[in-house]
Structure 1
């Protein structure tokens, strides 16, 4: 690893720790209010308005809440795919069937996740998505996204690129998580837009 790459990884770790510390200070009331506004803002995205299939995720912990958005997309007839974490950290996918269609799954040495209860569709199901909503911790003015570092979505993005599929990539964040700079590595891909409670921002 070069000195520059090592420095970039260290900067990412520092930025992750700072963002997570701020998220931990959010009250449950603040988080619920932000989630409701976030859903409204996201539904204004033209990319979502015309999407037949959206790959999304169920928020956990202090992440910006996605449940209201998932329900709104499902209610208007959008096919919503949700991830199923595999033992190697890759993601399988299942279809969201609305309230009551999620099961709590405890993964070894990881937090419990809410995952779709139906039959898994396979990791390549994400290739059918018109929009992929990505979890993240920060994004900068170039659209470079800071993930949690687990590598699951790096695999998803690599799969999309390998197959020549180009869905709209959108990250959902709190307002303070749009930052001046996110260190980028060779495999990182910019997102098309960020949605925060304050509004939507598209990148070139």
Structure 2
């Protein structure tokens, strides 16, 4: 199956999930990550603000903030790259043409993820070698090309796959979190 066919199938399956199933998955993912040793010692974590059909990040972000951990979120730039801003739940947000809610706040620069204990990214699937299938725009591959920080993708349980077609520029993740637990890439 090609990347495009796999994306189409996974997006269809996400749309078919009930809101309750997505909410339960978001809570389970948050619980798994919030007890991870990497998080317990963190002062800053990068995380995305989830879209409707993605594994929800709201419970995770709330949990991080409740522990006094600063959360930074991506800002998409016109040139296809990402910048980062501190997440403030009270801040005004703007919805991008891609449908992503981004906070209005001062940008921190593209290298802000280097100060994070963990970089949490969206994915449609992750395979056993850490290859991440995104939506195809390449924002995260470009943003993470030079990061030395651990990268974690959030996926539903059926999206942890044995293998995914990939390209040389695809940046692998070091772990994936599903509602069933944390999968560390060997």
TM-score normalised to the size of structure 1? 0.86
The answer to whether 1:76 aligns with 2:67 is yes
Task: Quote the residue 1:125 is aligned against.
Answer: 112
Q: Secondary structure at the match of 2:2?
A: helix
- 1:185 Cα offset (Å): 1.4
Alignment of 1:97-116 (within 5 A): 97=88, 99-107=89-97, 110-111=98-99, 113-116=100-103
Task: Quote the residue 2:10 is aligned against.
Answer: 19
Q: 2:153 aligns with which of 162, 171, 178?
A: 171
Task: Quote the residue 1:151 is aligned against.
Answer: 138
- 1:184 Cα offset (Å): 2.1
Q: Indicate the structure with greater helix content.
A: 1
Distance 1:87 1:69 in 2: 28
Distance 1:199 1:106 in 2: 31
The answer to whether 1:65 aligns with 2:47 is no
CA deviations on 1:108-161 (whole Å, 9 max, x unpaired) are xx32x211222111222222222110100111111111111111101111242x
Unaligned regions of 5+ residues in structure 2, if any? none
Q: 1:159 to 1:89 in 2, by over 3 A?
A: same
Distance 1:64 1:88 in 2: 27
Could you say which structure has the larger radius of gyration?
Answer: 1
Q: 1:199 aligns with which of 171, 181, 184?
A: 181
Distance 1:201 1:124 in 2: 26
CA contact (8 A) 2:87 2:103 kept: yes
Q: Secondary structure at the match of 1:153?
A: helix
Task: Quote the residue 2:47 is aligned against.
Answer: 56
TM-score normalised to the size of structure 2? 0.94
CA contact (8 A) 1:85 1:91 kept: yes
Distance 2:58 2:104 in 1: 16
Distance 2:48 2:84 in 1: 10
